[in-house]
Each structure stands twice: as C-alpha cells, then as structure tokens.
Structure 1
Amino acid sequence: MRLSSAQLFNQSITSVLQKQTATSKIIEQMDSGKKVNTAGDDPVASQGIDNLNQKNALVDQFMKNIDYATNRLAVTESKLGSAENLTSSIRDQVLRAVNGTLGESERQMIADEMKGSLEELLSIANTKDESGNYMFSGFSTNKEPFAFDNSTPPKIVYSGDSGIKNSLVQAGVALGTNIPGDSAFMKAANGLGDYSVNYLASQQGDFSVKTAKIADAATYVADIYVFNFTDNGAGGTNLQVLDSANNPVANVINFDATQPVSFNGIEVRIDGKPSAGDSFSMAPQAEVSVFDTISRAIALIEDPNSANTPQGRAQLAQILNNIGSGVNQISSARSVAGNNLKIVESYTEVHIEEKVVNTSALSLLEDLDYASAITEFEKQQLALNAVSSVFSKVGSVSLFDYI
C-alpha cells in the first residue's frame, strides 16, 4: 500500500487536532467544575440535568411563594390577635360602665375610652402592608376597607370584597394568604341566633330575649314580629305575637318564661319577667358587625336616661352577646391565618428536603471528579505531545533526502 506525503500529513494533523480537542475539553471541564457542559458531552446525563434543574427552579418558585405567604399570614395573625384582645377589653369596659354605682361623669370617661378603643380597632382593620396595600380589603387592596358613613348615628361600612388571594405552595396546593375584612369584622354570628330585638323605652318589666332562632326551616316565615304582653288578671301576663300585617301568629295564655315561644318555624326564649303593657319587636338578622355593636354600646353608656333602665339592661344583654360573638369571629379568623401559617411552614421543610435530594442527584450527574480529570488531562497532554512530535518529524521528511 502506497501512502503519499499528503495522506501522511493529513493523518498526522487530524491526530494532533483530536488530541488538542480532548485536552481542551478536559481544561473546560476543570474550569467549570462540570463534566457535562453541553448536551454533546453526555446526551443522557444532559437530559437528567435539565429535568433536575427544572425541578429546582419550580421549588425555588414555591419557596418564594411561601416566603410571601409566611410574611402576609404572620402579620395578619398578629393584627387579628391585637384586634381580639382589644375587643375583649372593650367588653370588659362595657361591664364596668353598667355598674349601678357609677356616676354620669364616670360612665362618660369609660365611653370616651371605648371611643379610643374603637378607633384603634378601626386602625387595625385598615392596616396596610409594606407595599401600601390594605390587608383586609380582599382583592380591593387599593381601597380603605372600613370607614364611617354619613348616617345618624354613623355606622362602619365595608368597601372591600370577600376575595381570598391564594399562593401556590406545592403542585396542586394553593393556600389563602389573606383574611377579608367582612369575614373578620362584619359577619359575626348574631348572639341571639337569627333575629335582633328592638326594646322600647316604655319597657317596665326586667326581661330580655335570650335566644331567637329558626327552629324549623320547612315552616319558617321570615318577617318582623311584635310581642305584646297584657294582664292576665291573675298577676301574670298573656302574650300575643303579631306579624308585620298585624295578624296574630301566636297566643300564649299565662306566659311562662321557662317555656319557649314557638311560631312560624321560630323559637324564642325570654329571660326575666315582662310586665303588662310591655312590647318589643324583632327582625331577621343572622350576622352583626362588631363595629356597630361597639358603637351601640357607647351610645347606650352615654345616654343617662337608658343605661340603668329595663330597656337599657335588655339592650345591654344583647350588646354583650354580640360583642362576645364578635370576639369569637375575630378569633376564628385569626385561627384560619394561624393554621395556614403552620401549613405553609410545613411545606417549607418539604421543599428544603426536595432541594437537597435534587441537588445531590444533580451533583452525581454533572460535577467533575477533579482527581480523575487531572489524570486524564495528563494522559491527553502526553498523547498530544507524542503526536505533535511525530507530526513534526513526519512533516520534515522528504524523499529527496534519500536520493
């Protein structure tokens, strides 16, 4: 077989280039610390590396979402805790104010304290986050959620919505990161049940409605009802209940406060002893606002003509029930925030462990073994030197040297 000088030259230069490429590849690996820098280095390993990098990127996004949710929920839980304590203290202030030994000026001082507490509670409900967004406005974070309206007496109105912002903390797992203001402050369960009661200033008997609930949904008729007590001629009272059209719906002879009054699917329990001529009305109301309840308490305490009257005491019983219900509502909202915070923290641990597993697998696929790489580099360097030497000698040989 005959080899031309050109063929020898081409074979030699190819060998040199191959060894240079192999050497350069090892140098590149040593510089990057990775044994797989391109898909061509190891197609199978490269695909595994891409999958693991995508998983880690997803975990990083989940961790960012968790950090956001943790911060929001922690502040929410703290603010609701302050609101719960404040509302409980307001209830204690109401109990102090109705002490019969207090004078008008002393009651006014307590009322003024309650006004300050109400303003503080309103400030908590209008809390902003670090970005200037209202925390208890639902989705309407640019709107101040709570403010007094122009009615007389003024009431607190809610301008936010019921939106709950969810944060994805795991594939298929979204947790709420906020508590809408209406569910925290405006929708406390009515302390009496499903109806609120309006007592008259003419009330003489020392009584109040203990509960007014829907007992049978199938026969229930929603309406405004009036309770009229009349003399039964034997030292007691009879009771007649009228609907809004003045039609009798219940007649109780010899009223007994130990027995409930039932009509139109409603059950009413009255505590105390009504007097002949007493009357009150009740209207459907399943939910109450803690703000309006406190405002009513302040108005009652400030009115010297009502605070220690049968009407005032009856109103007070209803107010105290509703403030207690407001405390429970805030506490329940706080529990939701606290539980979500615990759940978020548990996913933090899950993602940290997942990141460790993924990073370990990634290291096995792409990290360079420097000891092996240095050995291989020396081998390739030696081979390159040998090939270069041969190429140098072959390149300088000429047939004319032997003629």
Structure 2
Amino acid sequence: MRISTGQMFHQNTTSILQKQTATNKILDQLNSGKKVNTAGDDPVAAIVIDNLKQKNALVGQFVKNIDYATNHLSMAESKLGSAESLITNMREQLLRGANGSLSSVERQMVADEMKASLEELMSIANTKDESGNYLFAGFKTNEPPFAFDSAGAIVYSGDSGVRKSIVSQNSNVATNVAGDTAFMSAKNPLGDYDVNYLASQQGDFKLTGASIVNPATHVEDTYTFSFVANGTGVDLQVTDSSGTNVTTVPNFDPNNPVSFNGIEVTLSGAPVAGDSFTLEPKSEVSILDSLQQAIKLLETPEATNTPQGKSKLAQLLNSIDSGQNQVSTARGIAGNNLKALENITSNHEEELIINNSALSKLEDLDMAAAFTEFEKQQLALNAVSSVFGRVGSLSLFDYL
C-alpha cells in the first residue's frame, strides 16, 4: 500500500498529540492529586462527586448554625445558672431579715443587700450577646427587656418570641429563652387567685390555695373574705367587688375548703373576728416582683412581726420558690437544647466521614500508579517523537 508523505505526517502528528494529551492529563492529575478533574474524565463519577460536595456544603452550613445556637444557648444557660444562685442567696437574705430579733436598722441593711442583688438579677435578665442583642428579649432584641417603670414596678417590654436555627434537614432548635418564660410567668403557688392580707389582721392564718375547680360556673372577680363573730366562733362572709354577698359559711372551720362560683379556697391557721383579706385573679407570678415585694416587706417597720407580715412572708417565700423553679425550668430548656445540638453535631460528623470516604474513593489519585503511567506515557511520547523525526528526514535523494 502506498503511503503519501502528507498521510505519514498526519498520522505521526496525530499520534504525538494523543501522547501529549495523555501525558498532560496525568500531569494535571498529579498536580491536583485528583483523578477526576473535569466531567470528561469520568462523567458518572463527576456527578456523584458533585452531589457529595453539595451535601458536605449543606452540612457545613448546618454546623455553622449549630455553632451559633450553641454559643447563645451556652450563654443563656450560664446566665440562668447565675440567676438561680442569686435567687437562692436572696431567699436566705429574706429569712435572715425576717428574724424578729433584728432591729429596724439591721433589717434595713438586709433590705439594702437584697436591693443590690435585685439590681444584679436585673442585669442578668438584660444580658446582651456578642452582637449586642438582648438575650432574654424574645424577638425584640434591640431594647432592654426589663426595666423599672415610673411607679417603681418591674415591667417586661420583650415578647415571647423564640428564635430558631435550622440545624439539619428535618429539624431546628431554639437558640434563646424568652424573658417572660424565664422570669415573669411562674405558676402562682396558690393556684388561680392571689391574696392581699390587710393590716387589720389579728389572727394567725394564711391562704394555702385558691383555684378554679369548675370553669363552667366560675365568675372571675375580686372577692373579699370577712370573719364575723357569732358568739361561739366566727362566720365567714364572702362578697364580690360590688359588695354583694356570694356565700356565708357559719362556724367557719379552716380544715374545710370554701367553695363558691367555681372556686375552691383553703386556709390554715385560726382567723379571728374582724380579720379580712381579698382575692384577685392571678395565675402567674414574677420572681422579680416577688423579690421586690420582699424588700418592701423588710423595709416596713416591724412588718414581719405582725400577723399580716407573717402571712405575707409565707406567701412571698412560696412565690420565690415558684419563681426559682421557673428559672430552673428555663435553664433546663437551654440545657436540653444544647444536648440536642451535641447529638446532631455527632450525626453531622459521621455523615461527613462517610461522604469524604466516598469522595476519596471516587476522586483521590493513586500517586504510585499515576507516576508509573506518567513514565509510560512520557516514554511513548519520546519514542513517537524520535521515530517521527527520523522518518520525516528521509529522502529518496539520499539513496540515489
């Protein structure tokens, strides 16, 4: 078969270019350390590699969200732990100040200590995060959630918003605890009504419960309980806010609950004729308000040595305990969310290990095999180039 000079040059050039392409491909692989650098290298593997990298990128974003949530929840958990300790200390201060052997000056000193502690507790409740946002303000993170109003009462200007962070494809986790959940909405230890003891109280008694037992017949109102002498004991008269008599209990026995308008009230102790107190609807108490009331009680001369003061003290101690339980519950919410984040983080770490292992099998280059192949391709390229150089220089005139 006759081979023209042009055909010979074309075939040799094509062969050299193929060997150069193969050599360059191996060089690219050696430089990158990957055997799949473009979709043309292995289309099926390239698709799988792209999917795995997208999954890893998504997991990486989840991990960043988890870091953000962990930082905020750790700060909240720590601050709520400090609040718990502070409340415990203030309760002990209240009991110390309520000691009847203390003088009014000594009692005022205890009250001043409690004021300083309350300010510290307010500071905790108004904690800012690393971005300058208020930690316990719900969604209203740009303004202090807790403050004293013009009357000296503590008010909450935040909301109940719970910010959430997406931490996996199928779950999100709360990254904050709202201030009302932590400090303002503790369960009233008495039930659904709160008591107001009057200065005229002479008997040694206290309210132990005031709950709605029949919502269908319940009439919400402010009720006054008055004890009236009957010759052998006392009768109890209950009136509503308009002064209308609601019920009368002759020969009142504190061992028996009083029921009216869907409400059940229980007392302990021994009220005497002339004693009176009022009930008003209130199902929640604030630990901040309770502590502020405790300070006012200590600042009232001889308040804790009177029947009214003793009853108020018992009520406040119960409210403080309920408020502390609320703070503990809020701390538990933060702690549980932190635990959930730890578990999710472990799942993400395992997923990354599996994905990276699959990626390694698909795209990582066997360096030893690649170097061997490179040497083979280079040798072939040199051989083709050498042959082409010799054949290309041949001429018929050399043999004439």
If the TM-score is normalised by the length of the shorter chain, which range does it land in? over 0.9
Give the Cα separation in 1 of the matches to 2:213 and 2:106: 42
% identical equivalent positions: 63
Which residue in the other structure is 2:35 paired with? 35
Which residue in the other structure is 1:51 paired with? 51
* Residue type at the aligned position of 1:163: G
Contact 2:104 2:302 in 1 (8 A): no
* Residue type at the aligned position of 2:212: I
Residue 314 (structure 1) aligned to one of 286, 308, 311: 311
Which residue in the other structure is 1:166 paired with? 164
Which residue in the other structure is 1:99 paired with? 99
* Residue type at the aligned position of 2:191: G
Give the Cα separation in 1 of the matches to 2:79 and 2:353: 35
Which residue in the other structure is 1:155 paired with? 153
* Residue type at the aligned position of 1:147: A
SS at match of 2:305: coil
Contact 1:229 1:279 in 2 (8 A): yes
Give the Cα separation in 1 of the matches to 2:188 and 2:315: 9
SS at match of 2:368: helix
Give the Cα separation in 2 of the matches to 1:213 and 1:400: 123
> Alpha-carbon deviations, 1:49-87, whole Å to 9, x = none?
111111111111111111111111111111101101111
TM-aligned CA deviation for residue 290 of structure 1: 1.1
Give the Cα separation in 2 of the matches to 1:256 and 1:18: 108
SS at match of 1:262: strand
Which residue in the other structure is 1:397 paired with? 394
Q: Does 1:184 align with 2:182?
A: yes
TM-aligned CA deviation for residue 280 of structure 1: 1.0
Which residue in the other structure is 2:382 paired with? 385
Give the Cα separation in 1 of the matches to 2:189 and 2:119: 23
Give the Cα separation in 2 of the matches to 1:402 and 1:44: 56
TM-aligned CA deviation for residue 400 of structure 1: 4.3
* Residue type at the aligned position of 1:126: N
SS at match of 1:283: strand
Q: Does 1:327 align with 2:324?
A: yes
Which residue in the other structure is 2:135 paired with? 135
* Residue type at the aligned position of 1:162: S
* Residue type at the aligned position of 1:221: V
SS at match of 1:307: helix
Which residue in the other structure is 1:304 paired with? 301
Which residue in the other structure is 2:90 paired with? 90
TM-aligned CA deviation for residue 307 of structure 1: 2.5
Which residue in the other structure is 1:366 paired with? 363
Stretch of structure 1 that moved more, 307-316 or 112-121: 307-316
Which residue in the other structure is 1:72 paired with? 72
How many residue pairs match? The answer is 400
* Residue type at the aligned position of 2:287: V
TM-aligned CA deviation for residue 3 of structure 1: 2.6
Contact 1:23 1:377 in 2 (8 A): yes
Give the Cα separation in 2 of the matches to 1:217 and 1:383: 95
Give the Cα separation in 1 of the matches to 2:277 and 2:306: 15
SS at match of 1:216: coil
> Alpha-carbon deviations, 1:259-292, whole Å to 9, x = none?
1101111111011111111111110001111111
Which residue in the other structure is 1:260 paired with? 257
TM-aligned CA deviation for residue 215 of structure 1: 1.1
SS at match of 2:89: helix
Give the Cα separation in 1 of the matches to 2:135 and 2:24: 58
SS at match of 2:303: coil
Give the Cα separation in 2 of the matches to 1:394 and 1:180: 87
TM-aligned CA deviation for residue 175 of structure 1: 0.5
TM-aligned CA deviation for residue 398 of structure 1: 3.2
Give the Cα separation in 2 of the matches to 1:144 and 1:387: 81
Give the Cα separation in 2 of the matches to 1:139 and 1:212: 34
* Residue type at the aligned position of 1:245: S
Q: Which runs of 5+ in 1 are unaligned?
A: none
Contact 1:9 1:394 in 2 (8 A): no
* Residue type at the aligned position of 1:150: S
* Residue type at the aligned position of 1:183: T
Give the Cα separation in 1 of the matches to 2:31 and 2:15: 24
Which residue in the other structure is 2:245 paired with? 248
Give the Cα separation in 1 of the matches to 2:76 and 2:110: 29
Which residue in the other structure is 2:3 paired with? 3
